[in-house]
Every structure is written in C-alpha cells, then in structure tokens.
A and B are shown apart, each in its own frame.
Chain A
Amino acid sequence: MTSHYDWRGGREAMMRFGLADAPVVVIAPPPFEEANRLRALMATVARGLARQGLAAVIPDLPGTGESLTDIAATRLADWRDAFAAANEAAGPVRLIASVRAGALFDGGQGAVGHWRLTPQDGSRLLRELVRTRIAGLREDGREASSATLTEIARNDGIELSGHWFTPALFGDLEEAAPLPAHPLRTVRLDGDAQPADHRLAAAPLWRRAEPGNDLELAQLVADDIADWMRTCLGG
C-alpha cells in the first residue's frame, strides 16, 4: 500500500508491505536507470520480507518516481535527508537495506543494522551512465569521449539515460561514497571481484537492458536480509 513521509523539502510517497507493527526493512533502491531495471525485483523482495513476518518500505526519493519535486533542483544531500526522514517514519524497529548506488544515501538514525547489495560509489555510477551515453551517440554516428562529456556535465549539466544532471548534482555524485554504516553486511554476486561478507549465485539483473525480474535472486536477497535482521536483533 502507498503511504507517505515528510521531510524538509515536502512530502513523498512510500510503498509499504507487510504488517504495520512488524520490524521493518527500509529499502534504498538505486537511482536513475537502474531504478527502472530493478523496480520489479525490489517489490518482489519486499513481498518476500513480508512473507517472513517482516515489513518493508520503499520510499520515493525527491525528484524521482511520483515525486513532485523537480529533479533539476535536487542534490544528493536532499536524497540523504529524505531517506533519513523516511527511515524515521517507517517504524520503531528498522534495518536499512540498500541496492547498488542506494548506498550513497542509505543513512539514518536508530537502525539496528545495515545491509547492502553490490554497493557502488558515485564516480562508478556516473562512469556507467556516461559510457551508455557514448554508446548511444555512437549509434547516431557521433563520437564523444568520457572526458569531453564529463567536462560538459561539470559546466553545463547533461542528460544521461533520460535524467537531467545539473552541474551541482553531477559534482555531488563525482565525490560521493557509500555512507559509514554499522553493523554492516555487504553482499555481492558470484564473480564480482570486490570484497564482500557474502556472495549470491545470481546474474546482475541491473545490467540487463530489458526490464525484468529474477524470482530466485529476490528470494536469496529477502532471505539474507531477514537473516541479518535476526542477527542484528540478537536472535
């Protein structure tokens, strides 16, 4: 069901799953293109958590989804503040779970623990978006380098995968790293070279051009988050 949360910039929507008084997993989904690619997966994960007796919320961020906030006026600090407000509004006992670049704004007071799936920093996120833009230009018979596009983005702003990045937002993301979090469990997929606490045998759905779902991955994710919630709650 749809509920809302208030933050300093206004009111945003929040999808809610599971019982009202259950411990709640506050999900920070990835922004931009991967938000579309993983929307169905996120909802399946949330329903999987509800089946395990937990609740889950997926907040809309300012300037994304149904939000009335203008993306052109949005900064990373807005997402961080909005997510922190959503976290506090979600319920008394909460765990924060973020996916991909959701780790750039998945902070908040009072969570019993943090869980991340394949976190990435802001420069990596931009690199992928810029690379996709270069591929698109090449299809139109035009050439551009990432250095040129980055320069344009820093000075004038740029559209990447259908989203407008102001120089301010682009600059925020160039510098952004996952927020400090404790206790933290970092989960990655098999084959990912970076360090992780646990690895899931699954393919990176966020790379697939066609929006889709992966029920097995959703189950693995929901089970691991539920286990981590129990560990953090001391049982």
Chain B
Amino acid sequence: MLPEGSEEVEDAVRSVLRDVLGISQERVDAFAATTPLFGALPELDSMAVAGVLTELEDRLGIIIEDDEVDGEMLETFGALSRFAMAKALG
C-alpha cells in the first residue's frame, strides 16, 4: 500500500496538507512546486507542522528525524515533496 512513484508521493503530501490543515481539495490541487508553505499558509503553524510530519510518516512508512526538520524543507510545496520522495523512494 506504500506509494511507489514520485507522483504518488506528491499526491500523498497534498492530501496530508489537506487533511491536517483542513484546507480544501481545490486549494491543494492548485499547489505548485514554488507555492510557499511555512510562513505563507496561515493554517501551517508550528503545531500543525508536527501533525503534518507525523501523518507523512504514517502514510509513507518513513521516519523523520528531528534534525531533518528545518525551514528549508517546509519552505515550498516542491521542497516538502522532494524531501518526502527522497525519504519514501530512497
């Protein structure tokens, strides 16, 4: 059941943002690689980041270490997706 391709991982990232932040499908569908996240999405505060990371772990079967979490990884949708792909697909 684990996502096997980069598109699937990107879809998983999109649905995690939708479900954890409670934003609409329409809004997450419009996210592009350059769409800014942390600092730009009001729903994504530090607490919500914790939920996003944990839900990504559950859905992708990965473990995210403390020292991997930084502003850069959460800066844009593209950066978060790339991080998730590297983790999930190796």
Interface residue ranges, A against B (CB under 8 Å): 127-128, 131-132, 134-136, 138-139, 145-147, 191-195, 203-204, 207-210
Contact = CB atoms under 8 A, between A and B. Distances in A.
A30 to B, nearest CB: 14
A203 B25 CA distance: 12
Given A131-B53, A203-B19, A210-B22, A192 B58 contact: yes
A193 B19 contact: no
B40 interface: no
Interface of B: 1-2, 12, 15, 18-20, 22, 45-51, 53-55, 58-61, 66-67
Contacts of B60: 193
Given A191-B12, A193-B2, A210-B22, A146 B66 contact: yes
13 contacts: A131-B50, A131-B53, A132-B51, A134-B66, A135-B47, A139-B46, A192-B58, A193-B1, A193-B60, A193-B61, A204-B20, A209-B48, A209-B51
Nearest to B60: A193
A208 B59 CA distance: 16
Given A136-B46, A193-B1, 14 more contacts: A131-B53, A132-B50, A136-B47, A139-B46, A191-B15, A191-B59, A194-B1, A194-B58, A203-B19, A207-B51, A207-B54, A208-B51, A209-B47, A209-B51
Which of A131, A136, A139, A146 has most chain B Cβ within 10 Å?
A131
Contact of B59 (A127, A135, A192, A210): A192
Contacts, number: 59
Nearest to A191: B59
A138 B58 contact: no
B67 to A, nearest CB: 8
A13 B12 CA distance: 40
A53 B6 CA distance: 47
A193 B58 CA distance: 6
A117 to B, nearest CB: 13
Which of A127, A191, A195 has most chain B Cβ within 10 Å?
A191
Contact of B20 (A131, A138, A207): A207
Contacts of A210: 22
A193 B88 CA distance: 11
Nearest to A208: B22
A169 to B, nearest CB: 21
A135 B20 contact: no
Contacts of B45: 139
Contacts of A207: 19-20, 51, 54-55
A147 B67 CA distance: 11
Nearest to B2: A193
Nearest to B46: A135
Nearest to B11: A191
A207 B16 CA distance: 10
Contacts of B19: 203-204, 207-208
